[in-house]
Amino acid sequence: MFKYIISGCSAIILTACGGGSSSSGDFLETGIFVDSPVNGLYYKTQTQSGYTDSKGNFLYKNGESITFYLGNLALGQAIARSMMTPLTLTNDNDINNISIKARNILRLLQTLDSNASDHSQIILDERLRDLNISDLNLESEADLTTLLSRAEAKTAKNYVLKDAQSAEDDFIKYYNYVVSTTTTTAVTDSALNLSACQACHGQNFEKSALNKSKIVANMSKDNVTKALLGYKYGTYGGDMAGVMKGQVSRYSDTELRNSGLGK
């Protein structure tokens, strides 16, 4: 019904892009770390290490695990993929119910941003690279305060810890923005921006989004329409209906009826 132009291997598709071609692991892949994109975060895989660059990019080989560090404190470890966030590192799988640790990482990165007035990118001051904070617990509010005072000693700046709600809101906004501007371009009759959906539902809507949704590609067209309108009007869905409401409420009913999705 709708076809995609796969323009090379976009660095940011959540599905294993180009997977299979590199089972030997020789191929270097580029991923992006997003709170909004973070510059200057240390990472280490079995074969690669360095700081995320000005686009938030890091390098890895297929199948490697990756650890991200703030100063000498490991934020978390996970299998490397093309788009990673604090939630990937803490194994969070519900964007509406973010764990304390993931939420505190979001708050810290946004607080330490050298250019906090521009939320579209987070730049970590190079002087934070040797921050000695491995004794601190990211789930403790008191430890966050200690961490910031040690950071202040390095940079001579004054940090005010961002509150949880606005940190989460900013993360979700920039996460969606990054996903919608960099995934594969969808060519379709639909007025919906389907590329914004692929991060969760898969390139061809073949995945269970966040392990919660049905596989949309297998649903009937009627049922897809019913679901999309239902999310908009709050009459359909499970625990995570709120995520979908955010995705569909800006579209007209006609646009939602003509999504072109389902069979």
Contact residues toward ligand HEC (CB under 6 A) are: 95, 192, 196-197, 199-201, 209-210, 212-214, 216, 224, 227-228, 237-241, 243-244, 247-248, 259, 261
Least distance CB 89 / ligand HEC (angstroms): 18
What is the DSSP code (8-state) at residue 33? E
Which pair of tokens denotes residue 223?
A: 């049922």
Which pair of tokens denotes residue 201?
A: 């539902």
- The strand ranges marked E within the chain are 3-4, 28-33, 38-39, 42-44, 49-51, 57-61, 65-70, 73-79, 83-84, 122-123, 186-187
Q: Which of 199, 186, 161 is nearest to 259 (CA)?
A: 186
The string of DSSP codes covering 215-251 is -GGGS-HHHHHHHHHHHHHT-S-STTHHHHHHHHTTS
Least distance CB 116 / ligand HEC (angstroms): 25
Least distance CB 87 / ligand HEC (angstroms): 11
Residue closer to ligand HEC by CB (options 103, 201) is 201
Residue closer to ligand HEC by CB (options 40, 202) is 202
Which pair of tokens denotes residue 97?
A: 């119910």
Least distance CB 106 / ligand HEC (angstroms): 16
Least distance CB 205 / ligand HEC (angstroms): 7
Residue closer to ligand HEC by CB (options 50, 234) is 234
Q: How far apart are CA 22 and CA 45, in angstroms?
A: 16
Which pair of tokens denotes residue 110?
A: 């946004």
Q: Angle 18-19-22 (CA atoms, 0-180°, nearest 5)? A: 95
Q: Which of 26, 31, 77 is nearest to 52 (CA)?
A: 31
Residue closer to ligand HEC by CB (options 148, 224) is 224
Q: How far apart are CA 114 and CA 1, in angstroms?
A: 46
Residue closer to ligand HEC by CB (options 116, 229) is 229
Least distance CB 104 / ligand HEC (angstroms): 21
Least distance CB 176 / ligand HEC (angstroms): 7
Residue closer to ligand HEC by CB (options 108, 209) is 209
Residue closer to ligand HEC by CB (options 9, 172) is 172
